[in-house]
Structure 1
Amino acid sequence: MTAFLRPLFGRRARLRWLHLVLGGALAVPYVLAGEVVLGPVTGWADVLGSLPLQLAAFATGLPVAAVTALFPPVRPLEAGAVRWLCGVGPGLLAYGPARTRGEKGRTAAWFTLHLGIGAIVAGLSLAVPPFAVVLMALPFSAGLRHSRFGMPEVWGEGWVLALAPVAGAALLVALAGCAAGGGALLARWAPALLGPSARDRLAAAEARAADLAVRNRLARELHDSVGHALSAVMLQAGAARRVLDTDPGFVREALAAIEDTTRRTVGELDAVLGVLRDGDPTGTAPAPTLAADLDGLLRRTRAAGPRITATVTADVATLPPPVSREAYRIVQEGLSNALRHGGDRRAVALRIDAAGDHLEITLANALAAPGPAARPAADRPGGGHGLRGIADRARLLGGTFEAGAVQGRWRLRVRLPLTVPGAHRRTATEGPA
């Protein structure tokens, strides 16, 4: 029984019924305007006293409603009402006003349907319930049976009178069915008539892609800067703890490196969070570059204890700013991976060369020795994003990325073009980080 009544009297059905009643209320001024027009034309002084003229006034007012639907606020208001009352998903309806001829035509068709079906359901909602109540009360009220509401010539005093309550209840169920059916039809037609056009969908997709690109870029910046800093601080603290009693000088250097690393990382984190707080999709956080910050990166990393051999033959001072920024992050993440997952953390080889029209970055370190203590990078929770970020940065500039084991050593090799391709701006919104 509940399964039968829920589609007719459930919460969604009641909200859609309310939506139809609102449509009927909106139709009243247009019906009155139709009556004002039909009165002088037909010569009838009392249009309300004639059912055919009332229907004619209703039919006359609907075209006027279609014309007023061309005003810009109609579409977003109707879409909002459908979204809240008819249960249509927000992604299926447009938010802005109708702009093209097709959008305006669909909005006018929707408004006409809403007011037309709503006026019918609202009229039935006003007329049917009182009549149904009278029918259900007839067997229990002699006064009603002998009044003009009782219609004694129809019901009489026989067994037919016993069916009056059943007929009243059936009328109420039929009214609920009409309202539920009309609401379901409007909910089904709403996406086609009030939904976004192809241009709206394209604009929404472009806006979402731009937003995702900004989020992915900021995620890469946070992962590379904060991840490297935490790895370096962890190793520096561990090295200082091991020699705390035997080498105070090294401990002082490690603590100074930790202080410098955390101060620099906090500054970068504040800059990135500032972009997020401002919500400016075009904003960029200040980013370190290979030309200005490579020496500091190597100094802070060496403070953790590893022996890093850096060979730089390229003129990093003349690199294009995008290449210099991305190259710095690639070197930073490569060193972080070597420190976290390398077998011999005391030997890391870094080369930065200019090979023709490309900048080549190569970083190599020994593989972790097999055994229960060794754990690959992919096994750590949330791991695996570093190499993916390096690959994304290389691809963003039109470069190449290689990483893998070569003769017992882990080697990372990245080639970046020294001239940023024109496709850089286009591919900036492609692919997740």
Structure 2
Amino acid sequence: MTKHRSVTHTHELLNKSKGQSAIEYLTTYGWMLLVIAIVGGAVFTTVQGSSSLDSSGFDAVSGVAFVDGGLTSDNTFQMRLRNQEAEEMTVEKITLTNEAGNKVVARPGKTLPVGEEKTFNTIGLTETGGQNSVNVEITYDTGGLNNLAVNGSITGAFSLDTERAEPGNGEWEFVDVSEVNQSTVDTSEMSDFYIMKYEASRSDANSTDAGSESTPVSQQGVVPWVQISQNEAIDKCQQAGFNLPSNRQWQAATMAEIGNSSTQPLGNTNNNEDSNGDQGTIDPTSHDWNSDGENDRTLTGSGPDTWANTIGVHDLNGNVWEWTRTVVDQSHPMHKGGSNGQVSSWNNNGYPETLGSSNSDFGGDYYWSSSDDNRAVQRGGGARNGARAGVFSLTLHNAPSRSLRYIGFRCSFS
């Protein structure tokens, strides 16, 4: 259901934000607000200009009102939205689409009280010399109605970064670090980022074959890319314009809260309590490691919704271990010098503080150490790890050069 109205109004560009206005912040730190035209929406001058705004299409009476916006020097598109509905709304999705159909999708999931304003961020735009247009769709829920939308387009000296834009099928998820639980991981020095919705696969993978292409993509229902080293995973992500997430980014992307099981997704953990008896579609190329008549991996994102976290990222618990780009030596406090055990307390840099007996706050998740330096951090556990897998599971067993059939990855970008 899409709302379309033709209301035109003029008002001064608003400068409200938390603590310091977005425009003041940009000016203070020497950032530039580009000239942006909202077609069916709003027209902006530069920060130093008249600051007047004309808009139509983003409804002035009800719906979501587009108040102001701009592109910062780090290519974050900031838009300030106002709730003009009669009830609280949740802004579920902001989609930017260029003429070629490439997309960047932010899924903030933020509530917006009646009459109030909030700033929403999305990435995937980059500054250019010429003028381009990008379509904007804002999707929200309110008053028992879902997937309401308002549409417009922005025009300015920027374009969608097609090397880093979503391929058009909703397979990246946006991590707003301000929404991350800070007891789980400190994001104070972390920028918002996108992460693959599904574990990476080769671009030509399908439901019966892993494929042979060297470009990693995020797609549902295919054979995940495994038997790849951390070194190779970093290289493949970077060749595609992305990166491998750091350990802290991976933890942030889980959106998990210590002691809150509703934020700790289930997954493919060999049909134990972490899978809740559910099963995804078995990967026919995987291995029956325990001779129970069933192979250990499932196809990407083929499990139930309970196998995805609160922002829609699938398979963070189990299926295959996932490389991060973080590497540690024995001197790092994450390294326990060969000790293994269940996570009993947590450091908010994204790793276990202490090990001990099972602690339900962490869902029985497990930590595996090593006696060696140069250990690449893997997260999430695999199907063969059973109940020990999960969003707090971590292993330092392997060097960056190691490749195994139960280790995969997913890319991120910011």
Whether these two folds match at TM > 0.5 is no
Q: Larger C-alpha radius of gyration, 1 or 2?
A: 1
Structure-1-length-normalised TM-score: 0.18
Structure-2-length-normalised TM-score: 0.19
